[in-house]
Amino acid sequence: MGDFQAILLLRKQLKELSRHPLDGFSAGLVDDSNVFEWNVTIIGPPDTIYEGGYYNAIMTFPPNYPNSPPTVRFTSEMWHPNVYPDGRVCISILHPPGDDPNGYELASERWTPVHTVETILLSIISMLSSPNDESPANIDAAKEWRDHRDEFRKKVGRIVRKSQETL
């Protein structure tokens, strides 16, 4: 079981989000008895190729949250340079605190305990709006984004339609 502090903090964030839902996503627990696993639905941001899609993901928090970041994994199909083929999201703020061993990221871009479920989800929405192909999680998607943008768009279009059918 996780830290008492982590449990309290996650319950508080859950309450905040249910009281003041935000545009672009919804979040709740996978199972009411476990505050460390959240079900989130992210709505494709307007004016992007992901627009109109509904993408489900599981957010899993570590027992020592907020000292370490959660992991986020899309359970819906996703084609994006910053999402691993298995659905895991790879963005700076979900990387452990401190300096990047590869020297790509500043410590300030990585996880800090001030981040909340809300800031994480907003970062994922902005990742959908502007893919970063510098250090991709999905090499094929990054290549296609760079060299064959039309193909990339088509593939995402299919994913968007598929996500609407499962609503």
Report, as residue numbers or ranges, the catalytic residues: 90
Angle at 158 between CA 134 and CA 118, to 5 degrees: 55
How far apart are the C-alpha atoms of 28 and 45, rounded to whole Å?
Answer: 20
Cross-strand bridge partners of residue 89: 83
HSE (side-chain half, CA atoms, 13 Å) at 133:
12
Cross-strand bridge partners of residue 75: none
How far apart are the C-alpha atoms of 81 and 105, rounded to whole Å?
Answer: 17
